[in-house]
Structure 1
């Protein structure tokens, strides 16, 4: 897949720095390349649900935003990506010191993109797939880009 904006890396880095909720949650951009994004999160007590697993909402947010960045790496400078729909399967409880998410654009259409995100929990150096998500995203012209 080929990016339509030669400055896509800068745009995605700004996307992460300006997304207050993502910053507050602690999701960090690890890498960005055309059609792919990787993020990490250092697990804190605030990320846990009542049984001491990482909350489903944390994983879903990470999967969604990482997919948006992957799709955002392919669009024109005057466009943005908005999530239309996403489905997530939680495969096992997320336990550990950190999470890693990888998102890949599977289909880049004219107006609609489809991406897949996988969230892994990392505990004592061992990585386990905890969630898998399919995200449908819309390409929107944006005058404030």
Structure 2
């Protein structure tokens, strides 16, 4: 299925396509990312927290939190636009250290046009079964040009 086909795909087909894309990303495979949900304009990514992804204070490294937000933003924007996309820019605010067992990024498209989408993402850390907000991101997702 192509990105353009996501607009007409069933939810199961869309999720399967998204998981194929994720499996083709070496870094995502390396850190163990899972695409838990994908629908037009929405995405949820999950990442089990491992010791080798932490920084010196025992928190999940901010770069890993940022990566998950970036990828969730791009999935949600791409699913909203139904075309191949890349992240054009994004900003992230860390609101608490990510200490727990699982990181969850939930992104939702705020506005989508032909060339770009604006997407917001909340990142939660799960500790002892409880979700706590640890970061908030917003980004611009751009249509990937034909010559790219």
Query: Residue 4 of structure 1: SS of its match in structure 2?
Result: helix
State the alpha-carbon separation in 2 of the partners of residues 88 and 59 from structure 1.
9
Given candidates 12, 27, 33, the residue that maps to 2:33 is: 27
1:18 corresponds to 2:21: no
Question: 1:59 — aligned with what?
Answer: 65
State the alpha-carbon separation in 1 of the partners of residues 81 and 122 from structure 2.
22
Q: TM-score, normalised by structure 2?
A: 0.87
1:93 corresponds to 2:86: no
State the alpha-carbon separation in 1 of the partners of residues 14 and 129 from structure 2.
32
State the alpha-carbon separation in 1 of the partners of residues 131 and 65 from structure 2.
15
Question: 1:42 — aligned with what?
Answer: 48
Question: 2:116 — aligned with what?
Answer: 112
When the two chains are superposed, the root-mean-square deviation of aligned CA atoms in Å is 1.8
Deviations 1:74-129, CA, capped at 9 Å, x for gaps: 334xx311111010000011100111110001110110111011110111111110
Higher helix share: 2
Runs of 4+ in 1 over 6 A off after TM superposition: none
Q: TM-score, normalised by structure 1?
A: 0.89
Deviations 1:16-56, CA, capped at 9 Å, x for gaps: 11111111111111111111001111100111011000110
The answer on whether the counterparts of 1:80 and 1:142 sit within 8 Å (CA) in structure 2 is: no
Report how far residue 11 of structure 1 moved: 3.0
Aligned length in residues? 140
Given candidates 76, 79, 85, the residue that maps to 1:81 is: 85
The answer on whether the counterparts of 1:8 and 1:74 sit within 8 Å (CA) in structure 2 is: no
